[in-house]
Structure 1
Amino acid sequence: MAHRLFGLFAFAAVNITDVTLARASRVTTAVSTAQAALSDPMAARDRECRGGVGKFCREREAAVTERRRALDGEIELVSLSADPQAHATIQLIAWTSHGMLRPASEDFAMVRLILMALLPHIAGMLLMVARSANMPQVRDPSAPIFL
């Protein structure tokens, strides 16, 4: 039984992770635009800072830092949309608890993993109990009766 549970946990974890990573690694038009906007200031910074650090080099470095932050922001938006269920559930829990509970996306991933692995087993056990309850009880006449 324990091997089956571990196998189910591993299977569910790998599938959830693969889908989330595939969604998070998408390159959207906003990300490609931010990457293109970053390449020009990087080239200007490299040209300007080749001779040494000066006033213009620092200005170019500030422009590169600004564009890199914009790119990181776009990538973060893509990664947030990679698992919309987790993001929506976190917002729902925070809203219903009036901000007292603020779970991380890893917390929701662990709960989802446990549910995906255990719910089929619970359904199977319920089916087993339901079938055994409907079976007629045959009493062995030679068995002793305890009163």
Structure 2
Amino acid sequence: MALQVADTGKFMARCRDCQSTVVPIPGTVTLRDGYNVGHTQFTVVPVSAGKIALKADIGQYVARCNGCIVDGATRDFLVIRKDDPNNPNVQFTPELLPNGNYALKSNSGQYVARCNGCSPTASARGVTQDTVTVHVDNPTSKLHAQWKIIPVR
């Protein structure tokens, strides 16, 4: 599947060496146009209690990482780095919103969202202004924290 953010229509994507990290983490998460390439496609792995993990095309999972992005405007960014879907940082609770979009709640209690200009290194490298973070408390009226699920075959 692909995840399309509701406000800009861009897609969540694995991005190698796109942001400077405090510890060596080559895979981070940004937004891209289109979803017809592997790095924008994820496999949903059910874990427990209604939670899911998102497995990237390289076999690792999307994870919340606290303080990992150099000079990040918010503490929690999404990265690709865990091999275990049972790690709490890779587990998200999908919530269906009244408008048909989904929100992804992390183990911190906050929601996955697009963040424009939040990673100075992604901007400086010319990669993108849009990265994916965990910083929204209530996604209901925040389109940048709402996702459309696009089936991919």
* TM-score band w.r.t. shorter chain: under 0.3
Which structure: larger Rg? 1
Higher strand share: 2
Higher helix share: 1
Q: TM-score, with normalisation over the residues of structure 2?
A: 0.17
Q: TM-score, with normalisation over the residues of structure 1?
A: 0.17
